[in-house]
Chains A and B, each alone.
Chain A
Amino acid sequence: MSSNNNRELSFSLAINEAITQLMSADASVMLIGQGVKSPWYVGNTCKDLIKKFGEERVIDTPVSENAITGAAVGAAIAGMKAIVVHPRVDFVLYAFDPIINQAANWHYMSGGKSNVPVVFWLIVNRRGEQAAQHSQALHSVFAHIPGLKVVMPSTSYDAKGLLIASINDPNPVVFIDDRWLYNQKGIVPEEIYEVPIGNGIIRNEGKDITLVSYSYMAVESAKATEKLNKEGISVELIDLRTIKPYDEELIINSVKKTGKLIVADGSWKTNGFAAEIIAKVTEEAFHFLKAPAKRVCLPDLPAPASSSLEIVYYPTWKNIVSTIKEII
């Protein structure tokens, strides 16, 4: 049990603690993926795991995303709780068959006779002039697929609690984190705990506008909220934490109170997850809206390499502030 309730931990070490504690508690938990031996790939998220649990349960792999992801799915079908990591989310595109065709459909198409307790851990790794294939935000794609749950924490506390919930979930869960969050610190209880999948949280109560965000954009949204509060604009900031299934009630109730909605999402605008939230609000709370709902997203184009273009490509708190001012 916790002896220190105010211990701070970085986001990446919160992930490390979640994996370490569950691997200690449950011999069926395994981790597989390219780079688990290498901080260059996975930062310190996998620190000491091989030392503690051995190379049979913590498996670094050849560059074979399709087979390795399929192997994690197969191990889960055979009763393991498998985590498969893709240190750059872009490479998971090689593995859509085991994730979408197999894992997502498996429980349904077997009539509930078999389930897949697998976690697809995908790390988003943007900017740094890395260009279009080291930088993509694919969460809206996964959130479109029935049979997958998709979580996107923004704090150390949620990183640990959501990863534990994901590993313990009997279904496939896509756990997406953002390397921009890795050095952030936050209070993390020492014991094993879960943040329930599907529960959002109000980070700041407000009355003038509802701002919905998740993952790294929740950090930019918090900055925007603080600036606007100083100017007398009261923002209700929701960090969704899970985008499938997402906390519809939390959003609807907030919009009923504020009458205005903005979504800050780290992926492309057209057909992205932000559109889903706005559609849901127009279905469920249309008459409460006092202004058009707005989105702050990536423009509909691939990530550029040059930093002079990156700076306009990635939205920040400033874009959120100016968009809110358009409708307030």
Chain B
Amino acid sequence: MNFSKELLEKLYRMMLRIRHCEESIVEPILDGSVRCPVHLYSGQEAIATGVCANLEKSDYIFGNHRSHGHYLAKGGDMNSMVAEIYCKSSGCSRGRGGSMHLIDVENGIMGVAPIVAGTISLALGAALASKIRKDNRVTVSFFGDGATGEGVLYESLNFASLKKLPIIFACENNYYSTHLHISEIRSNNNISDIAKPFDIPTFKVDGNNVLEVYEIAGKAIDLCRNKGPVFIEFLTYRLRGHVGPDDNIQGTHTDIRPKEEIEHWRKKDPILHFSSYLLDNRIFFKEQLEEIEKQVAEEVINAKAFAIKSEKPPKEELEYYVFKQ
């Protein structure tokens, strides 16, 4: 597959935006200035980036607790996201949602929520709405390997296949369900097999290779738009803790995963991997990539400054938004 230089730059820039933004939140978590639970996406950037680069603005996505990357890749505004993580009024959910409730309906980011597998059926319904309206949209449901333990996933696979709904089941297998390795939560590790009994076409992808993700997701989305549901398993690894930087307990430094395993995956860092590809193939010069990185770093600094200087919601607004009037 031939990739335009423009596309390659776009993918690289997006992955860097996600990484820099995520890493900028590490210190605020540790010093207590960010308090809501934050599940960093560092290490998994290629998936959100490669999938969303194939989507139209009007297509829908639903995410989970670890969805900063999905939000940015689908076109969400960084200032609004970082402000939401700081629980400020200027946040995308006006400080009522925090990191785990990002939304931008205009850009098709229909919602993210931390109840594991909880948004899969919502994505199913959005796809059902598209089928009824014949609006030609695709809905992507992002969830993790942990969600394969929830019954609603299998109910949703069956119904999506039965009704030929335009939904992508995008499973990001980072090998850990909070603190438990996948071998401790599943009788077998072949997540890509779970949709097959429902006659759903399935792909298994190296989730740390953005070009492979982009290419397969593109095929899957075309197939989905025309024929119905598709299941994709992305193999990846989170470079940070389940919640917070290093562990399941925010602010501590006792990651339970083996050091060698983390090192192994550090070498497969999707951004390092992609920048080597761009340089080795002389698509970009080092200075050009550095220039992109400089621009991204500035955007992230500005987003953080915006969040810090924004106000938290005033007490008088406690009762706002329970119901739409």
Q: Are A113 and B103 in contact (CB under 8 A)?
A: yes
Q: Is B126 an interface residue (CB 8 A)?
A: yes
Q: From B93, which residue of chain A is reached at the shortest CB distance?
A: A111
Bitwise, B104-138 to A at CB < 8 A (1) or not (0) is 11000011010100111111111111111100000
B113: chain A residues within 8 A (beta carbon): 101-102, 109
Considering only residues 55-112 of chain A, those with a C-beta below 8 Å from chain B are 56-57, 59, 61-62, 64, 66-80, 82, 97-98, 101-102, 106-112
Q: Is A115 an interface residue (CB 8 A)?
A: yes
Question: Whole-angstrom distance from the CB of B153 to the nearest CB of chain A?
Answer: 9
Segment at the A interface, from B182-190, B251-259, B316-324: B316-324
Alpha-carbon gap, A113 to B110, bound state (A): 10
B133: chain A residues within 8 A (beta carbon): 80
Known: A113-B105, A147-B323. A74 touches B115 (CB 8 A): no
Q: Are B91 and A78 in contact (CB under 8 A)?
A: no
Question: Whole-angstrom distance from the CB of A116 to the nearest CB of chain B?
Answer: 9
Q: Is B70 an interface residue (CB 8 A)?
A: no
Alpha-carbon gap, A204 to B159, bound state (A): 49
Q: From B114, which residue of chain A is reached at the shortest CB distance?
A: A101
Q: Is B94 an interface residue (CB 8 A)?
A: yes
Bitwise, A103-147 to B at CB < 8 A (1) or not (0) is 000111111111100000000000000000000000000000011
B37: chain A residues within 8 A (beta carbon): none
Alpha-carbon gap, A59 to B113, bound state (A): 27
Q: Are A77 and B126 in contact (CB under 8 A)?
A: yes
B321: chain A residues within 8 A (beta carbon): 107-108, 110-112
Q: Is A30 an interface residue (CB 8 A)?
A: yes
Q: Is B155 an interface residue (CB 8 A)?
A: yes
Q: Are B124 and A112 in contact (CB under 8 A)?
A: no
Q: Are A80 and B322 in contact (CB under 8 A)?
A: no
Q: Is A215 an interface residue (CB 8 A)?
A: no
Q: Is B156 an interface residue (CB 8 A)?
A: yes
Question: Whole-angstrom distance from the CB of B122 to the nearest CB of chain A?
Answer: 4
Contact of A64 among B105, B127, B158 (CB under 8 A): B158
A67: chain B residues within 8 A (beta carbon): 120-121, 124, 152, 155-156, 158-159
Q: Are B93 and A110 in contact (CB under 8 A)?
A: yes
A97: chain B residues within 8 A (beta carbon): 115, 118, 152
Q: Are B103 and A110 in contact (CB under 8 A)?
A: yes
Q: Is B12 an interface residue (CB 8 A)?
A: no
Known: A77-B111, A107-B323, A112-B321. A71 touches B124 (CB 8 A): yes
Alpha-carbon gap, A2 to B158, bound state (A): 45
Contact of A98 among B105, B122, B158, B324 (CB under 8 A): B122
Bitwise, A277-300 to B at CB < 8 A (1) or not (0) is 000000000000000000000000
Q: Are B128 and A71 in contact (CB under 8 A)?
A: yes
Alpha-carbon gap, A68 to B159, bound state (A): 8
Alpha-carbon gap, A111 to B91, bound state (A): 9
Q: From A74, which residue of chain B is reached at the shortest CB distance?
A: B125
Alpha-carbon gap, A147 to B158, bound state (A): 30
Q: From B96, which residue of chain A is reached at the shortest CB distance?
A: A111
Contact of B115 among A57, A77, A101, A147 (CB under 8 A): A101
Bitwise, B169-188 to A at CB < 8 A (1) or not (0) is 00000000000000000000
Q: Are A66 and B111 in contact (CB under 8 A)?
A: no
B124: chain A residues within 8 A (beta carbon): 67, 70-71, 74
Q: Is B92 an interface residue (CB 8 A)?
A: yes
Known: A61-B159, A73-B125. A66 touches B151 (CB 8 A): yes
Question: Whole-angstrom distance from the CB of A75 to the nearest CB of chain B?
Answer: 4
A72: chain B residues within 8 A (beta carbon): 125
Q: Are A80 and B129 in contact (CB under 8 A)?
A: yes
A221: chain B residues within 8 A (beta carbon): none
Known: A73-B121, A110-B103. A171 touches B126 (CB 8 A): no
Known: A108-B322, A109-B101, A110-B111. A74 touches B122 (CB 8 A): yes
Q: Are B103 and A70 in contact (CB under 8 A)?
A: no
B283: chain A residues within 8 A (beta carbon): none
A57: chain B residues within 8 A (beta carbon): 132
A59: chain B residues within 8 A (beta carbon): 128, 163
Known: A97-B115, A112-B321, A114-B105. A74 touches B126 (CB 8 A): yes
Q: From B98, which residue of chain A is reached at the shortest CB distance?
A: A109
Considering only residues 30-63 of chain B, those with a C-beta below 8 Å from chain A are 60, 62
Known: A61-B159, A75-B126, A107-B323. A70 touches B120 (CB 8 A): yes
19 contacts between A and B (CB under 8 A): A66-B121, A67-B158, A68-B155, A70-B118, A71-B121, A71-B128, A72-B125, A73-B125, A74-B110, A74-B125, A76-B125, A77-B122, A78-B126, A78-B139, A80-B132, A98-B121, A102-B119, A111-B96, A113-B104
Q: Which residues of A contact B (CB under 8 A)?
A: 30, 32, 56-57, 59, 61-62, 64, 66-80, 82, 97-98, 101-102, 106-115, 146-147, 149, 170-171
Known: A74-B122, A78-B126, A110-B101. 7 other contacts (CB 8 A): A75-B126, A75-B128, A79-B129, A107-B322, A111-B93, A111-B94, A111-B103
What 5 A-B pairs come out closest when comparing CB atoms? A70-B121, A74-B125, A111-B94, A67-B155, A74-B122
